[in-house]
Amino acid sequence: MQIDFANQFDKQLKKSPNKIKIAFQKRLSLFIKDKYHPLLDNHQLTGKLKLCRSINVTGDWRALFKELNSGEIVFFVVLGTHSHLYK
């Protein structure tokens, strides 16, 4: 599995609090080992975000990604709080 990040995602991660940066790195490691681990709550989104999937970073923070090339490539698109991403 190849993992890539959108420029927007990189900027959002860089601007996020240190606690979120650390939490994302831990969740990314878990994701690499088992992308459907229960702590991640990996699920398909609906509506205008139906092409994306979401994983939990913390209780309120989410990382949205797209699976490309039949899931061989995971492309993280945006990072933010639940209320910010799903407004």
What does the pLDDT read at residue 82? 85
Q: What percent of the chain has pLDDT over 90?
A: 83
Residue tagged 């799903």 (tokens)? 86
Q: Sign of torsion, CA 3 16 54 60?
A: positive
- CATH assignment of the domain containing 32: 3.30.2310.20
Exposed (0-12), middle (13-18) or buried (19+): which is 44, by Cβ within 10 Å? exposed
Is residue 86 scored above 90 in pLDDT?
no
φ/ψ of residue 56, rounded to 5: -80, 135
Residue tagged 């039949």 (tokens)? 70
Domain interval for residue 40: 2-85
Mean pLDDT of the chain: 93
What does the pLDDT read at residue 75? 97
Instruction: Grade residue 83 by pLDDT with cuts at 50, 70 and 90.
Output: confident
Mean pLDDT of the region 63-76: 93
Give the chain's domain count: 1
Exposed (0-12), middle (13-18) or buried (19+): which is 72, by Cβ within 10 Å? exposed
| pLDDT tens-digit readout, 20-48 | 999 999 999 999 999 999 999 999 999 88
